[in-house]
Amino acid sequence: MAYIISDDARELLKDVKEFAEKEIKEQVKAYDISGEWPKEIYDKAIEMQLHMMDVPEEYGGLGLDHIDQAAILEQIAWADAGVAVTLNGNGLALKPVLIAGNEEQKQKCCDIIVNGGWGVFALTEPDAGCDAGNGKTTAVRSGDEYILNGRKCFITNAQVGDFYVVTAMTDKSKGTRGMSAFLIYKDTPGLSVGNHENKMGIRTSVTSDLVLDDVRVPVENRLGEEGTGFITAMKTLDLARTWCAVIGVGLAQRCIDEAVNYAKQRIQFGKPISSHQAIEFKIADMEIRTEASRQLVAHAIRLSDLGMSFGRESAAAKCFAGDSVVQTALDAVQILGGYGYSREYPVEKLLRDAKIFQIFEGTNEIQRMVVGRSVISSH
Ligand SMILES: Cc1cc2nc3c(=O)[nH]c(=O)nc-3n(C[C@H](O)[C@H](O)[C@H](O)COP(=O)(O)OP(=O)(O)OC[C@H]3O[C@@H](n4cnc5c(N)ncnc54)[C@H](O)[C@@H]3O)c2cc1C
C-alpha cells in the first residue's frame, strides 16, 4: 500500500471522502463552466480545516504528516483537481516561510492560515518561467525598507491572497545568488492583482498576475538572508512537486473510476465493452500507470520525511504522474467514445484538468533535466 496512514488521518479521510462525493464532485460542474471561485466549497473546506494541513501543530494547525496529507489531497483531487490545487496553495506558500522564516514570520503566516486566510507563492514572471532564476522583479534597499517593482504571472490564489511570498532580485549581478524572498501582506500599497487567466482546466482555482509598483516592504519581512531566495524557492518546489504528483494521482483515479463504470454498462456487439479485450487492456494500463505514480510519490515523500535528499525522486514522481494522468484521461475519453467528447459526461473535463500536470511546478522537460543531471552527476 502506498499510503499507510495514521488512525487520526483515517477518520479525517472518511469525512473528506463524504465531502468530496457529496459537496464537490457534482457542484464543480457549474464552476468549471463559469470559471467562478467556488466560495461555498472553500468555506466548507476551511470549516473542515483542509486549508491548514501543512500548518504544524505548534502553530495551531493540523500538523498532519506528509503521507496522511497525500491520502487526503488525493481524495479531494479525485472530486476536483482545481479544489485540491487551491487548498494546496497554502502549503506551497507556507513552505518557504517554514524553511527560511524566523519565529515571528512563521507564527504570523500560520495565524493567517489558521484564521481562514490564503497564502500565495509568487516566483514565475513573464520572462522567467522555466528559467526561474532570471527574474526581472527588483528589490532595492532604502533604509529600513526594500522597494519592490515588477510583475509576477500565473500565480495561484493571487486574487484571494492574504500573504504573498515574492521573489525579487536584490543584486542582479550575482545571478540566482542575487535573488531574495519577501513576505508581503494583503493591502500593502503598490501591490495589486492584474490579469486573471481564463484557463483550459482546473477552473475552480484562480490564477492571476501580481503587480508590484513601488511596494515598500520592511527589512524584517525578508525571508532569510539576502541572496537565499532562489535556494529557498527550489527547496519549496522539491516538496511542492510531490503534492502536484499526488493531485495528479487523484485525478487519474477518477478517470479510471469513470471509465470502468461506463465500460461495464455500455453494450456493443451484444456485451459490455469492458468484456472486449482492447478495453480491458486499456483499463489495465490506466491502473498500472496510476499505481506506479502513487508508489513513486510515496517513496519521495518517505525520503523527505526521513530528512534524506529527495529532489531527484520528487521530480521523477511529478514527471511520471503528470505524463500518466494525461494519458489516463485520454484513455478515459476513448473508452467513452463519442460520449467522452461530450460535455454531458465528466471525462472531457478530466482531460482538460489533466494537462496542467505536465506544466506547473516546473514543466516535465525541466523535471527530466533535474532527473537526468542528478543521475549523470552521481555516476
Ligand atoms: C495554472 C497555473 C498555475 C500556476 N501557479 C503558479 C504559482 O502559484 N506560482 C508560480 O510562481 N508559478 C505558477 N505557475 C507558473 C508555472 O510554474 C510556469 O508556467 C512553468 O514553470 C513554465 O513556465 P512558462 O509558462 O513561462 O514556460 P516557458 O519557460 O516559456 O517554457 C515553454 C516551453 O519550453 C520548454 N523549455 C523551456 N526551457 C527549456 C529547456 N531548458 N529545455 C527543454 N525545454 C525547455 C518548457 O518545458 C515548455 O514546454 C502556474 C502556471 C499555471 C499555468
Please tell me the distance from the alpha carbon of residue 53 to that of residue 86, in angstroms, as a whole number.
13
Please tell me the distance from the alpha carbon of residue 298 to that of residue 67, in angstroms, as a whole number.
7
Cell of 193: 492583482
pTM for this structure?
0.97
Instruction: Give me ligand 1 centre to Cα 114, in Å.
Output: 30
Contact of 136 with 128, CB cutoff 8 Å: yes
| Torsion angle (degrees, nearest 10) of CA 373, 376, 377, 379 | 160
Active centre residues (catalytic): 361
Beta strands (DSSP E) in the chain are 119-122, 138-142, 145-156, 163-169, 179-185, 191-196, 207-218, 222-223, 267-268, 271-272
Q: Whose CA is nearest to atom 31 of ligand 1?
A: 130
**Four-way CATH pick for 7-114: 3.10.105.10, 3.40.50.1010, 1.10.10.10, 1.10.540.10:** 1.10.540.10
Contact of 216 with 322, CB cutoff 8 Å: no
Instruction: Give me ligand 1 centre to Cα 209, in Å.
Output: 14
Please tell me the distance from the alpha carbon of residue 122 to that of residue 186, in angstroms, as a whole number.
13
Residue of 85, 124, 125 to mutate, ligand 1, most atoms within 8 A of C-beta: 124
DSSP conformational letter for 125: B
Distances (CA, A) of 186 to 39, 63, 88, 210, 285: 19, 25, 19, 12, 46
φ, ψ of residue 271 to 5 degrees: the values are -150, 160
Name residue, grid cell 522555466.
Answer: 130
Q: Which residues line ligand 1 (CB under 6 A)?
A: 121-124, 129-130, 154-156, 199, 207, 356, 359-363, 365-366
CATH code linked to domain 119-226: 2.40.110.10
Instruction: Give me ligand 1 centre to Cα 366, in Å.
Output: 9
| CATH superfamily name and code, 231-377 | Butyryl-CoA Dehydrogenase, subunit A, domain 3 (1.20.140.10)
Digits of tens for pLDDT over the chain (379 positions)?
Answer: 578 888 888 999 999 999 999 999 999 999 999 999 999 999 999 999 999 999 999 999 988 889 999 999 999 999 999 999 999 999 999 999 999 999 999 999 999 999 999 999 999 999 999 999 999 999 999 999 999 999 999 999 999 999 999 999 999 999 999 999 999 999 999 999 999 999 999 999 999 999 999 999 999 999 999 999 999 999 999 999 999 999 999 999 999 999 999 999 999 999 999 999 999 999 999 999 999 999 999 999 999 999 999 999 999 999 999 999 999 999 999 999 999 999 999 999 999 999 999 999 999 999 999 999 999 999 9
What residue ranges do the domains of the chain occupy? 7-114, 119-226, 231-377
Instruction: Give me ligand 1 centre to Cα 244, in Å.
Output: 14
- To which H or E segment does residue 87 belong? helix 81-100
Residue of 131, 184, 237, 360 to mutate, ligand 1, most atoms within 8 A of C-beta: 360
Contact of 205 with 353, CB cutoff 8 Å: no
